[in-house]
Structure 1
Amino acid sequence: MRDLLIVLFVLWVLPKAVRHTYVAVNLWTWISIMNPHRLTYGFALDFPFAAIAAVAALVSLLVTKDELKLPGEKPVIFLILFLIWMCITTAAAYYPADSFIQLKKVLKIQLMTLIALAAIKEKKHIDWFIWVSVISIGFYGLKGGFFTISTGGNARVWGPPGGFIEGNNEIAVALIMTIPLMNYLRIMAENVWVRRGLVIMMLLSAAAALGTQSRGALLALAAMGAVMWMRSERKLAMGIIVGFVAVGLVAFMPSAWEERMSTIAEYEQDGSAMGRINAWWLAFNIANSRITGAGYEAYSGELFAAFAPNPLDIHVAHSIYFSVLGEHGYIGLVLFLLLWLSTLGVARRLRSETRNIEELKWLFNLAGMCQVSLVGYAVGGAFLSLAYFDLPFNIMVMLVAGYGCLVTYRQRVGKEAGPATAKAGLPSSLQRADISSSG
């Protein structure tokens, strides 16, 4: 029955996906992140739904009447440079054939990111994109939260099989990144039942994240809670709510969970932590020896014997930073960091330039919650391999598209108010661009 429902839904959406590229992007996002077909037991289990969604998106580029244009914001430029550099490092990899297989997977994801950047232009597009991302991850938050409660926190929560977030650490950070997006939808929702439902989803997602027993998730939750408190306009109330929820969730978890979390401060005694540090040294030594890094699939016995302090303790890097460093060298790491720093810069500009515009309050709130989400990714990602996961790139798309909405709003206001008033109302960055172009 599940198989049939998923197939019928995809068939129902496909004609709309071909006509409108942003619909194809949403279909891809749902299939890529949620992996709904992996929850079936019949013919749909291994059906190529993602490939079908990708083909629909490519066809829509040719037939759609919607405006498609790739933005020129800095995150887009750094993303393209990063993709070009990954192709170079794959050609120079230790294991080019194995590395090329992984490169194809990454390029498929990033091709859809670029299509999303070109297609998502309006508030309606952004809201749909957020809802699809939230539902795709929130489903596992609801499921995992109920599971954590029913087992008293004694059993570990895992992600959907066959995807980026199958592991307990990976699903934990995905949930943590999605909670701020849920909060944005809650803030903007007009229906009281939608708001209440989102609150329940947020609480259960937080419980599920703790139920993964991921130590990186605990650090990411703490960092995210701090930023969410700073972003709140009512800091006292938000501080009380965050503190109450945190104490309640932690108090619910069993003593075994507390013992595992306590090992954060005693990492020297933990074999898993020391294995990760050994892999980090591997990445550091490879980057010092090769400007292009080792390429994908760099965690072999041969490379550990040549570059790691302990050649017998073979682990993947379990860090977005060290995995990029080892696979693509210092140039790759710099491009990766510039991509996310510039994305945070877009969020900062959005908050600064929409703070006092009531019509754009949604952009102000969206930028703030995206900042919180990216902090969760930056902290949690330090302890797991999610450098190429879709969700953070989706957040980058939301912010870049949001800034495009701001520019469109300013242009509309300028036409209605006249040149002098329009110039006075432009944000400083756009005023400078206007002056330079007129000179």
Structure 2
Amino acid sequence: MRDLALIGFLTALLGLGLKRPFLFVLAYAYVDIVSPQRLSYYLLNSIPVSMIVAGLAFAGWLIADDKRHLKVTGRQWLMLVLLAYAGWTTLRADLYVEALSKWDWVWKAMAWAIFLPLTLRTRLRIEAYLLFMILSAAAIVIVGGIKTLLSGGGYGVLHLMVDNNSGLYEGSTIATVAIAIIPVILWLARFGTVYARDWRVRLFASALILACLLIPVGTEARTGLVCAGALAIFLLREAKNRIAYMAMIALAVVVAVPFLPQSFTGRMSTIQTYEADASASTRLAVWAWTWDYAKENPLGGGFEAYRQNSLRVKMVSSENVGVVELVDRSVVEDQGRAYHSSYFEMLGEQGFPGLILFLLIHGIGLIRMEVLRRRHRGAEGDQAWISPLATALQNGHLVYLVGSLFIGIAWQPFIYMLIAVQIGFDTYVSRRANEGTRRPWRKAPLAASPAV
């Protein structure tokens, strides 16, 4: 039944794409994020669904899309340079066979991110793609939220529809993404035009945000807790009454703590006692190893270069017994430990040139969203949505960058989709501003959405 439902939905979506080719682009977002081929037992998992849908999306754009305002931006060129550089490091990788396995999905994610902005030429398209991204991620988040409410979850035991612990189905990754999409959910609930903005939309958005907040609890991912704290700080910037906002956050934390599983609070407490936690201590050791490796190999070692590391980590733990403090010292050995940081992942695999390109792509995105946020702050009418969307995309991006400090998601396709939406949004607003010098912007009525 699951296979039939997945095939039926995907077939219907692709069938509609024959009339509106942009729907192929939306279908790819669903396929890439949810990965229905991984959920299928025997039908979709034998078909190259992602390649087929990507081909349809590109063909639909090439044949039927309006290309009068076609523009390739600086960030797209930077992503192309990074992709080419990653291809070069793959050819000379220290572990060539392992590197090819990662390259196989990295180039597809980057190629899509470079292509996607070319299709996002209207507000409706930008909003529709964001909506598909959020709802596709919600398919995973809602399952995780329900399981957390029913069972409390647990580190490494919260299964999110599939047993394969990779992509967005990996605990720390989905915890980061779940928190990162909250600002976009809030924007869609407030400014979305694909649907009528009534109590049903607000109710669903509230429930989805609750599910997003439950994901770090269910996965017991410390990264998720850090991201949630960072988002609370980022949202403070736009709060009308900051004192009331901080009081509400403090009250929510006080109310929530008694209901949290003991295993969750115990794991979160290791953030302060990292020297006694093997995971945190080896993570620091990997970072030190990567830095030394990069100094000897400044151009990087290619994908999966971390598999060469060999670590000896000194552990220190203490326990108070009466008035006496017992200190236990031990040494833990580990090999092939993953980077557990996107920045060290880029440094180790792509060297200093790759890390610089990575930082430029993300840094320019944050700056451009800040420019749009400030330029259109206080705008009314048909421009009222611009500054809030720039803020939402910027906050989501910042949450990802915070989470990236502690998990290796430098090439995560979801964030590159978000960057592509930023580029399309930036290009669209700039083009309309230039057109506005010749004619005023016109607001499309809600009941008659423009064609996609």
Report the TM-score when normalising by structure 2.
0.85
Q: 2:295 matched to 1:288?
A: yes
Judged with a 3 Å threshold, the aligned counterparts in structure 2 of structure 1 residues 37 and 100 are, in CA distance, closer, same or farther, namely closer
Secondary structure of 2:118's aligned partner: helix
Corresponding position of 2:325: none
Corresponding position of 1:179: 182
Match for 1:244 among 238, 242, 251? 251
Q: 2:67 matched to 1:57?
A: no
Secondary structure of 2:306's aligned partner: coil
Q: Render the CA deviation track for 1:399-423: whole Å, top value 9, x for unaligned.
A: 2222122223212321127xxxxxx
Corresponding position of 1:201: 208
Within 5 Å, give how 1:33-432 maps onto structure 2: 33-67=33-67, 71-152=71-152, 156-161=157-162, 162=164, 163-189=166-192, 190-300=197-307, 303-305=308-310, 312-358=334-380, 359-416=382-439
Deviation at 1:266, TM superposition (A): 0.9
2:188 partner letter: L
Secondary structure of 1:231's aligned partner: coil
Deviation at 1:240, TM superposition (A): 3.8
Give the distance between the partners of 1:22 and 1:231, measured in 2 at CA.
34
Percent identity of equivalent pairs:
23
Q: Render the CA deviation track for 1:124-164: whole Å, top value 9, x for unaligned.
A: 01111111111111122222112112124557534453441
CA contact under 8 A between 1:282 and 1:309: conserved in structure 2? Answer: no
CA contact under 8 A between 1:165 and 1:171: conserved in structure 2? Answer: yes
CA contact under 8 A between 1:141 and 1:206: conserved in structure 2? Answer: no
Judged with a 3 Å threshold, the aligned counterparts in structure 2 of structure 1 residues 239 and 398 are, in CA distance, closer, same or farther, namely farther
Q: Render the CA deviation track for 1:376-430: whole Å, top value 9, x for unaligned.
A: 111111111111112211221222222122223212321127xxxxxxxxxxxxx
CA contact under 8 A between 2:143 and 2:161: conserved in structure 1? Answer: no
Give the distance between the partners of 2:383 and 2:370, measured in 1 at CA.
14
Judged with a 3 Å threshold, the aligned counterparts in structure 2 of structure 1 residues 126 and 247 are, in CA distance, closer, same or farther, namely farther
Judged with a 3 Å threshold, the aligned counterparts in structure 2 of structure 1 residues 416 and 68 are, in CA distance, closer, same or farther, namely closer
Judged with a 3 Å threshold, the aligned counterparts in structure 2 of structure 1 residues 238 and 265 are, in CA distance, closer, same or farther, namely same
- Decide which structure has greater helix share: 1
Deviation at 1:270, TM superposition (A): 0.8
CA contact under 8 A between 2:61 and 2:119: conserved in structure 1? Answer: no
Give the distance between the partners of 1:61 and 1:127, measured in 2 at CA.
18
Unmatched 5+ stretches in structure 1: 418-439
Between the two proteins, the alignment pairs up a number of residues equal to 413
- Decide which structure has greater strand share: 2
Give the distance between the partners of 1:217 and 1:65, measured in 2 at CA.
39
Secondary structure of 1:404's aligned partner: helix
Give the distance between the partners of 1:70 and 1:286, measured in 2 at CA.
42
Report the TM-score when normalising by structure 1.
0.88
Deviation at 1:17, TM superposition (A): 3.7
